[in-house]
Amino acid sequence: MDETLQGVGVSHGVAIGPVRHMGTAALEPPEERIPVERAPQEQARARQALEAVAADLRARGNLAGGEAQAVLEAQALMALDPELGADVRRRIAVGSTAARAVHDAVASFRAVLAAAGDYLAGRVADLDDVRDRTVARLLGVPMPGVPDSDEPYVLVAHDLAPADTALLDRTLVLGFVTEEGGPTSHSAILARAMGVPAVVALPGATSLEEDAVVAVDGSTGEVVVAPSPELRAELRRAAEKRRSALASASGPGRTSDGHRVPLLANIGGPADVAAALRAGAEGVGLFRTEFLFMEDSERAPSEDRQVEAYREVLEAFPEGRVVVRVLDAGADKPLGFLTPADEPNPALGVRGLRTLLDHPEVLRTQLRALGRAAEGLPVHLEVMAPMVADRVDARAFAEACRSVGLRAACGAMVEVPAAALRARAVLQEVEFLSLGTNDLAQYAFAADRQVGAVARLQDPWQPALLDLVAAAAGAARETGQGCGVCGEAAADPALACVLVGLGVTSLSMGPAAIPYVRSALARHTLAQCGRAAAAARAADTAEEARAAAHQVLSGE
């Protein structure tokens, strides 16, 4: 009989194949002591190993491009963190080996962050990966990474670091399953961008036997162990039916009765443009600009450098819509020249727009660069601020845009519940709203988006989250302004229909999800979407909301 395990589906598709476990390095260096005279040599070895790991992560990011590049650049900064380096040197000075010093310093670093409530405490996979790669290099053992295999497989791991996810060989890795992680973790986001079926937060995932055949459904979160031939055939038929439906839906996003819903792409830089165009994106709904600022953690990129990168994206969407988010620094994206090292809780401190208002010249330079990049192009440029909390924030951003003469629509990201609840006031200052459902859920439920233990609270089907979306969309509808969703919620085809039913006017997602969402919208009327939204909001749990909406959308 088929054994079915339930995790959290984070990337569409079905994968059937044998299990291969992620390889690991020796994580526990021996407790050796060194004489004082060896300390300088060991300190140099530790520094070189950390620098080499950072360089390797950056190289992987350059190969992967786009969003992966920004994620891996942030991880490289962890390896080069000055406080971590200083702690390693201190430990070596009192007798630790380089490997042991790195191991213990990272453990201490994580403990301090967790005690301080720091958002980075949730980046377990990222930080552990830095430790493992550095220790492996110092001990001369194989680096942790994906297993060697001549046949396609399903990759299983406790968690996946971005460095591994970003460069997965799509011809060999059919899908992956992790015991940790959540729907908005780095690896989940990258999996969706790549189109690799994935399930996270699956209890006991690492207990799956090597070579055991599993069927992974990245839509439902189900993992079936030793699926029967009949079930395999059924899953393959369902996958083929889905592919046919995707092929039959083309053109602009719209419901079956003709209600237009622009389908846009989330991108991290010029490298993501090709995938967005292949998927038929009608523009860009979220252009994350952090990748530029992560090229050098000690200084902002020049205005000319920014103009060059922005124009490359704008030129790709002639007469289309491109929504640019100005720099979102802080929390999990620290920058040495902007964010304070001693912030006790960055996720709730000076982050996003708050950081830019503290460094107005950085904001003005970016806004000027965007204006210059759009000169002479027919593209419809829109610029939005991250982490807007209230009307005061919205006014400050709008004034900054006007101060440089920027001719672009000015908007606010709704990631803070207060902004959703007071959206009418925010819209007095800006021209549109864009809901970042990942952070909106994190702040609404006090649930770190990187921690698997609270993954259920990050489920975008949570009725309370839908209530916040409805509040913002309702305010925009009353004032005749736009309200899009650029969080990962938009990538769920059924939830996309619900969002449209709540009044959302555009949807932006990873390019790989666009065909699925286009197909789902084309099968349902606007009235059906409205009924599904009402049914979901009437539920008490995410599971009930999902089931209720699916029942309406399936016509049952």
Q: Closest Cα to residue 329, out of 346, 306, 344, 310?
A: 346
For residue 205, how far is the Cα from the chain centroid?
22
- Separation in Å, CA 28 to CA 31, 88, 112, 146: 9, 16, 20, 20
Q: Which of 401, 410, 483, 486 is catalytic?
A: 486
- Give the integer Cα–Cα distance in Å for 118 and 351: 13
Q: Closest Cα to residue 188, out of 32, 432, 12?
A: 12
Q: Are 42 and 92 in contact (CB under 8 A)?
A: yes
- Give the integer Cα–Cα distance in Å for 12 and 519: 13
CA-CA-CA-CA dihedral for 448, 293, 194, 21, to nearest 10: -60
Q: What is the DSSP string of 320-360?
A: SEEEEEPP--BTTB--TTTS-TT-S-GGGSS-THHHHHHSH
CA 494-495-496 angle, to 5 degrees, is 90
* Whether 497 is catalytic: no
DSSP bridge partners of 23: 145
AA letter at 201: A
* Whether 410 is catalytic: no
Q: Are 465 and 476 in contact (CB under 8 A)?
A: no
DSSP bridge partners of 272: none
| Kind plus residue range of the DSSP H or E element containing 175 | strand 173-178
Q: Which of 186, 359, 401, 524 is catalytic?
A: 186
* Tokens standing for residue 123: 């980046």
DSSP bridge partners of 539: none
* Tokens standing for residue 265: 């792409």
**Backbone phi, psi, residue 369, to 5°:** -60, -40
Query: Within 10 A of 107 (CB to CB), how many other CB atoms are there?
Result: 13
Which residues have CB under 8 Å from 233's CB, separation 6+? Answer: none
- Give the integer Cα–Cα distance in Å for 279 and 512: 7
DSSP bridge partners of 243: none
Rg (CA), the chain: 23
Catalytic residues: 186, 486
